[in-house]
Amino acid sequence: MEYDVKNLNLAQGGRHRIEWAEQEMPVLRSIRKRFAKERPLNGTRISACLHVTTETANLAHTLQVGGADVVLCASNPLSTQDDVAASLVSHYEIPVYAIKGEDNETYYDHISAALDHTPHITMDDGADLVSTIHKNRKGLMDTIYGGTEETTTGVIRLRAMSQQGELQFPVIAVNDALTKHMFDNRYGTGQSTLDGVIRATNILIAGKTIVVAGYGWCSRGIAMRASGLGGNIVVTEIDPLKALEAVMDGFRVMPMQQAAAIGDIFISATGDIHVIDVHHMADMKDGALIANSGHFNVEINIPGLTELATKPPRKVREFVDQYQLPNGNRINLLGEGRLINLTAAEGHPASVMDMSFANQALSAEYMIQNVDELENKVYSVPADVDQEIARIKLEEMGIDIDTLTAKQEKYLTSWEEGT
């Protein structure tokens, strides 16, 4: 078996952590149980480009139990958990190409190695497999049924490809599932981003002014959790509706230029470029901390910051690079501007990834079942899959809910009854 991981001796620790995460993934476990019996993915080659974490290991194992032949590479150079990668190779016989801290060239070599698997299904987090195939590996399209996409930024890229008539195979937007973004993006990113900032800095959040760029699914979660820890939240937005929502949720809203001067900690999660730009950083207080939780590190203008600084950055803690500005102020960039929750912490807790990855597993199954009908466009996860995942999750949590009576069902589908 070919693979490229940091050190196979780390495997035992990785296995313990994979099993620990599994305890919080009841939906995926129940899918795995059914997959073991039905083997719906039999003979399907899957190349997955996902953050190599304990939760992803549980997904890869579930796909394997369902009959798939899976290989895995990283969807970000800094998010790989090397012990998990080692365990997948050693204990699960799943080839992994991922090393935490790999340089850009190695990152793309690993994507290429995962594509050498000639996948029937690609599983992306950020559309790197799909875009590489469309740009450099067009020959692979002959055998591909389609792909699935995990995150907002990937879905945006794929919709752009689809609109320009460039997308050459169907893709299911897992991020569109309510059981994905309502929980993973909001509660997962909310908690784990704060976890990342705290682990990187050991800073007290209470009493600090936290500037959150964006008020979408992720950033709303970040604002909510930072507020819960006693931070004074400032939100920046470009969408008037989201800005209004932030105001009504009790947060201050202002342009980034204004926020720059008062913030202690800046966290972006917008999916946009240069949301924190040089002219913002030039106005920041001495010691300001900047982190990103959006998919790409372009949210912060790091090349601009490097140019503005009087000397190369100084590594003051494991995940903190300090830049000295001409005005004497120091700006601290966390985790090289990469998703801070995966760089400095462990990513989303398993309980939310349970639902995200249940969507991935069921979307792969759906793709195989419907391969002849699907066109070359971006599909949402079928609504009944979403409902089913929420139902199992509640059941596993021991929570019962009401069901409509016949009278209520009739009432809700009629229009005659009034006051």
What is the contact surface with ligand NAD in residues (CB under 6 A)? 151-153, 181, 185, 189, 213-219, 236-239, 242, 269-272, 275, 293-295, 339, 341, 348
Which residue, 22 or 195, has its beta carbon nearer to ligand NAD?
Answer: 195
Which residue, 243 or 325, has its beta carbon nearer to ligand NAD?
Answer: 243
Taking the complex as a whole, how short is the minimal distance between the CB of residue 233 and ligand NAD, in angstroms? Answer: 14
Q: Per DSSP, what are the bridge partners of residue 46? A: 70, 121
Q: What three-state secondary structure class fits 15?
A: helix
Taking the complex as a whole, how short is the minimal distance between the CB of residue 216 and ligand NAD, in angstroms? Answer: 2
Alpha helices in 235-328 (DSSP H): 240-248, 256-262, 278-281, 302-308
Torsions phi, psi of 281, nearest 5? Answer: -65, -30
Question: What sign results for the dihedral spanned by CA atoms 202, 208, 212, 217?
Answer: positive
Quote the CA–CA distance of 358 and 179 in Å, as a whole number. Answer: 9
Residue number of the CB atom closest to ligand NAD? 216
Tokens coding 53: 């974490």
Taking the complex as a whole, how short is the minimal distance between the CB of residue 294 and ligand NAD, in angstroms? Answer: 4
Q: Is 171 exposed, middle or buried (0-12, 13-18, 19+ CB in 10 A)?
A: buried
Which residue, 4 or 176, has its beta carbon nearer to ligand NAD?
Answer: 176
Taking the complex as a whole, how short is the minimal distance between the CB of residue 65 and ligand NAD, in angstroms? Answer: 26
Amino acid at 302: I
Q: Is 371 exposed, middle or buried (0-12, 13-18, 19+ CB in 10 A)?
A: middle
Which residue, 170 or 196, has its beta carbon nearer to ligand NAD?
Answer: 196
Taking the complex as a whole, how short is the minimal distance between the CB of residue 120 and ligand NAD, in angstroms? Answer: 25
Taking the complex as a whole, how short is the minimal distance between the CB of residue 402 and ligand NAD, in angstroms? Answer: 30
Taking the complex as a whole, how short is the minimal distance between the CB of residue 356 and ligand NAD, in angstroms? Answer: 9
Q: Per DSSP, what are the bridge partners of residue 253? A: 235
Which residue, 41 or 358, has its beta carbon nearer to ligand NAD?
Answer: 358
Which residue, 40 or 216, has its beta carbon nearer to ligand NAD?
Answer: 216
Q: How many helices (H) and strands (E) does the chain have?
A: 18, 15
Taking the complex as a whole, how short is the minimal distance between the CB of residue 34 and ligand NAD, in angstroms? Answer: 27
Strand order in the sheet with 330-334: 252-253, 232-236, 209-213, 265-268, 288-292, 330-334, 320-324, 314-317
Taking the complex as a whole, how short is the minimal distance between the CB of residue 264 and ligand NAD, in angstroms? Answer: 19
Which residue, 15 or 280, has its beta carbon nearer to ligand NAD?
Answer: 280
Taking the complex as a whole, how short is the minimal distance between the CB of residue 249 and ligand NAD, in angstroms? Answer: 13
Which residue, 238 or 325, has its beta carbon nearer to ligand NAD?
Answer: 238
Q: Per DSSP, what are the bridge partners of residue 280? A: none
Taking the complex as a whole, how short is the minimal distance between the CB of residue 134 and ligand NAD, in angstroms? Answer: 19
Q: What three-state secondary structure class fits 221?
A: helix
Which residue, 148 or 153, has its beta carbon nearer to ligand NAD?
Answer: 153
Tokens coding 392: 């199992």
Stretch (H or E) spanning 386: helix 383-396
Residue whose structure tokens are 């879905």: 155
Count of Cβ atoms closer than 10 Å to residue 196 Cβ: 27
Which residue, 123 or 213, has its beta carbon nearer to ligand NAD?
Answer: 213
Contact of 339 with 150, CB cutoff 8 Å:
no
Contact of 98 with 85, CB cutoff 8 Å:
yes
Which residue, 147 or 294, has its beta carbon nearer to ligand NAD?
Answer: 294
Between β-strands 171-173 and 209-213, what pairing exists: parallel, antiparallel or unpaired?
Answer: unpaired
Quote the CA–CA distance of 366 and 210 in Å, as a whole number. Answer: 42
